[in-house]
């Protein structure tokens, strides 16, 4: 039996989980595969990973092949900081303009379309491209950035641009939390290896609990590796929610329902969790 192939988002937002995995020596028991959210989505669905974070919209599209790990997500209750819409013009003026969407995210692509349509009554001309803001804004009036690319813009905002936090925009529009990614396991793998999946899950939860207690330490470490000060990093980690309790499930279902109504997914998903 091979070690479980476990995906890891190569963004700072998953540093707390990774930090705890290192501390608890879990990396000896799994084959950790790093990538962008889009890359991990594909690898999990192709069977190249057994367990991985996956964009919540991609889980909704493929829920029949996957099962969720309980209580694990990348979510926000309002401001998320690392998912930004950056615009040359006020968002109220973006209707009909070209908008560049980063190719590193699936959930955020759907979310910005929903927000611009429902909140601002805007229908821009969307296209997908790599996340390079200067190149994006050479061809577009607005750009969607996520992860570390968005954090760098938030930390040192370019002059003359408008920044919109998608977690905050969603909260203002709906009153709901936003779940950007969930942790899932391939349904076949879960059926054949229930104890192995449960062991990985317990390791994740121990790692997350450890990291919550050590948030100051993790923020200091991150500030040594990245061009962000420790205070900024701590504020960011505290703003993230790694929960998938009943409230977050209801809010994810509400988002999925709206995505279904707009044709972004083909059916409203069921949330099925592995027994751990």
CA angle 85, 86, 87 (to 5 degrees): 115
Q: Where are the beta strands (DSSP E) in 43-124?
A: 51-55, 66-76, 83-87, 98-102
pLDDT above 70 as % of the chain? 99
Q: Do 5-75+178-261 and 83-174 agree at the fold level? A: yes
| Cross-strand pairs, 84 | 145, 165
The full set of domain ranges for the chain reads 5-75+178-261, 83-174
Query: Is pLDDT above 90 for 16?
Result: no
Does the structural domain 5-75+178-261 have CATH classification 3.40.190.10? yes
Query: Is pLDDT above 90 for 20?
Result: no
pTM flag (> 0.85): yes
162-172 average pLDDT score: 98
CATH superfamily of 83-174: Periplasmic binding protein-like II (3.40.190.10)
pLDDT in tens, 199-240: 999 989 988 888 888 999 999 988 888 889 999 999 999 999
Backbone angles phi, psi at 185, to 5 degrees: -125, 145
87-99 average pLDDT score: 98
């Amino acid at each position: 039996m091979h070690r479980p192939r476990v995906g890891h988002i190569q963004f700072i937002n998953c540093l707390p989980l990774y930090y705890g995995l290192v501390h608890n020596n879990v990396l000896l028991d799994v084959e950790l595969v790093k990538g962008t959210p889009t890359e991990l989505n594909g690898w999990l669905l192709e069977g190249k990973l057994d367990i991985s974070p996956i964009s919540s919209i991609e889980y909704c599209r493929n829920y029949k092949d996957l099962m969720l790990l309980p209580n694990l997500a990348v979510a926000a209750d309002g401001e998320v900081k690392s998912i930004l819409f950056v615009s040359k013009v006020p968002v109220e003026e973006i209707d009909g303009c070209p908008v560049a969407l980063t190719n590193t995210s699936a959930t955020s692509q759907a979310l910005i379309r929903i927000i611009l349509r429902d909140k601002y009554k805007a229908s821009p001309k969307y296209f997908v491209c790599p996340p390079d803001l200067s190149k994006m804004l050479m061809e577009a009036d607005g750009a969607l950035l996520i992860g570390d690319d968005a954090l760098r813009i938030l930390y040192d905002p370019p002059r003359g641009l408008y920044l919109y936090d998608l977690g905050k925009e969603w909260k203002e529009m709906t009153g709901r939390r936003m779940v950007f990614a969930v942790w899932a396991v391939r349904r076949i793998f879960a059926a054949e290896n229930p104890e192995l999946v449960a062991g990985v899950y317990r390791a994740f939860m121990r790692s997350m609990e450890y990291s919550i207690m050590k948030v100051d330490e993790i923020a200091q470490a991150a500030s040594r590796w990245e061009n962000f000060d420790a205070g900024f990093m701590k504020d960011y980690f505290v703003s993230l929610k790694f929960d998938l309790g009943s409230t977050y499930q209801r809010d994810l279902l509400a988002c999925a329902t709206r995505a279904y109504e707009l044709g972004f997914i083909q059916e409203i998903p069921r949330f099925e969790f592995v027994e751990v």
